[in-house]
Amino acid sequence: MPDDGPWATLRDHLVERLPVPSARVDAMLAEGRIVGDDGPLALDAPFVPRSVIWFHRDLPDEAPVPFAVDVVHRDEEIVVVDKPHFLATIPRGRHVRETALVRLRHELGLPALSPAHRLDRVTAGLVLFVIDPDRRGTYQNLFRDRRVTKVYEAVAPHDPALALPRVVRSRIVKERGVVTAREVPGEPNAETLVELVEARNGTARYRLTPRTGRTHQLRVHMASLGLPLLGDPFYPAVRDVPLDDFRAPLQLLARELAFPDPRTGRERRFTSRRVLQAWEDPDGWAAGDAAERSSTPTSGSVIS
């Protein structure tokens, strides 16, 4: 709260301060959703200068994402999951309840669970979560220090004239408020190894190994090669896709995740069991029959 002011009650201050109708402020107070140090605050609670209050904002209406989050590995410190397409990693903007973090906190009974890194909402595959908040920084530092190996799989057009494998380097910038990233002149800050795995009927499956972690890096680099990923709503051109349209997921999968165990130094390696529909079921993909499929379950964690 401000240092001083003309308000007799907290309610009077909130009505003036918050961008919601006064009736909504009254309802939130009546429902006990606005709290101070001692608990819920009443409608006639006095305005107290420099005090602190908390409230949960109204959640947006969200389209349910009809795909499950699969747990690949869980121990006393971490949870590694196989995230489906269309599910955001953490709450942001219009996505709160329909996020991997919120789902997992409820489903696993781990209210302090936190992500060590993120995947785009439209990208599927492996995400590492940390159970103990005090250990989160340890795992985040592995990503910061580039000690984590991430390998992606993608489906895109095939260009037999393009020599692969190759390393793509460029400078990528992402401006706040702009949905797409772009390449600009200057010293490269993004690097990706692009490898061709197999090709058929004008389409190919690629292995992508990023050596940096810029926003949309893989999508930008593939588009720059003339190989935009199938199902990409941003590159090479932005398409308006409703949030409840699950028919054509981006054909990008975080396939492998490997890092040294922070306690023992031994390598831990995890592999996604998901498959990309445009490659495994091209007819279903072409027909818009969206599905989240997995291969035959195998051991999720290998410690060598």
> How wide is the angle at C-alpha 94 spanned by C-alphas 93 and 96, nearest 5°?
90
Longest dimension (CA), the chain: 75
Q: Cα(68)–Cα(115) distance, rounded to whole angstroms?
A: 17
Phi and psi torsions of 55, nearest 5°: -155, 155
Tokens 């398409």 label which residue?
239
Catalytic one of 38, 120, 132, 244: 120
- Which are the contacts of 248, defined by CB distance < 8 A and separation ≥ 6? 230, 231, 241, 285, 288, 290
Give the whole-angstrom CA distance, residue 304 versus residue 298: 16
Verify whether residue 120 is a known catalytic residue: yes
**Which positions are annotated as active-site residues?**
120
